[in-house]
Each structure stands twice: as structure tokens, then as C-alpha cells.
Amino acid sequence: MSIPTRQCIVGQIASRPEWSRASEGTVRFFARIKIRARRRHADGTYGDPVESFHNLVAYGRAAERGRTRVREGDVIVAAGYVRTDSYDHDGAPRTGEEFVMRWFGHEAWRTEYTVARSAPPAQPSSHPRTPRRSSVAAIAAQGPAPALAR
């Protein structure tokens, strides 16, 4: 079984977020995001960080959460996918990309925050999921497992 993965970006909200209604009536979030990334050269070294700006959109619940939690200047981690769009601008055909975020969170390395928990801490389980070191050491001290008869 493979590990499910998603595309993720880390960047700073570079414009004031905007909200609107999509044609189906769902909430739409839009902002520009600034991404600083080092690029790897052909010789294996990395160059200086390069800034790039991209469109960031969200729909539905992610957009509604963004309304109260994201503002210009915030550094976020967003997971989602890249969507390519074709459109006409003053009669000329254009193409563009936007990152559609499914979920997001503030980047913990550069953001100070407090956590407001709604439930008390869970009670520890009487059966731990992984053995403790002393249990592993005791099993290792017993020696190799006996061979199975064929």
C-alpha cells in the first residue's frame, strides 16, 4: 500500500483576501500568495531564493475557514492541486494557473499562535500501540526465534 500524497505549498499571503460566491452559490476565497524557493542548478548546488507570485483559491468549507483565519502577511501551508485555466483577456487568449487549496494551516516555524482546544485531553490507553524500549530489549535478550519445522 502506498502513502497518499498531495501537492503542498508554503507561502505568504501577498494581497488582501477576497470572498465571493461561485456560480453554484458556494463561497470562493481568492488571494495572491508569494512563494520563496531555492532552485537547484545542474551542478547540484542551490541558488539564492527566488520569489514568485501565484493565485490561491479555495471553495466551500476551506474558503469559509479562510474568511476568519487568513489575512495579508500570514505565512500558510496549503494542500491542494494546481489548476490550469484558459480565458480571453481583451480579445486575446490567455492561460493561467492557480493553486486550489483543500486545506490550510499557519506555518508553525514563522507564526506564533495559541491553541484553543474544545475537548479535554484523551485518557491514555491501557494498551500502548508500540512496545516500550524495555519490552523490545527483553524480547531481544531472549535470543533468536526458534526455526519452524518444514
Which range is least confidently modeled, 12-16, 102-106, 117-121, 129-133?
Answer: 129-133
**7-111 topology per CATH:** OB fold (Dihydrolipoamide Acetyltransferase, E2P) (2.40.50)
Q: Is the pLDDT of residue 148 over 70?
A: no
Q: Return the percent helix, strand and coil in the chain, to nearest 5.
A: 15, 45, 45
Residue with the larger pLDDT of the pair 128 and 24: 24
pLDDT at residue number 89: 80
pLDDT at residue number 147: 54
Specify the length of the chain in residues. Answer: 150
pTM, entire model: 0.67
C-alpha to C-alpha distance for 30 and 123, rounded to whole angstroms: 41
pLDDT at residue number 150: 47
pLDDT at residue number 138: 56
C-alpha to C-alpha distance for 7 and 110, rounded to whole angstroms: 21
Neighbours of 74 (CB within 10 A): 19
C-alpha to C-alpha distance for 77 and 9, rounded to whole angstroms: 6
For residue range 43-102, list pLDDT tens digits in order.
989 888 899 999 999 999 999 998 888 999 999 999 999 999 887 888 888 888 999 999
The residues with which 119 forms a beta bridge, in sequence order, are: none
The alpha carbon torsion through 48, 46, 5, 53 (nearest 10 deg) reads: 20
Domain boundaries, the chain: 7-111
Neighbours of 69 (CB within 10 A): 13
Closest CA to 67 of 11, 17, 1: 17
For residue range 9-29, list pLDDT tens digits in order.
999 999 999 999 877 888 999
C-alpha to C-alpha distance for 18 and 44, rounded to whole angstroms: 40
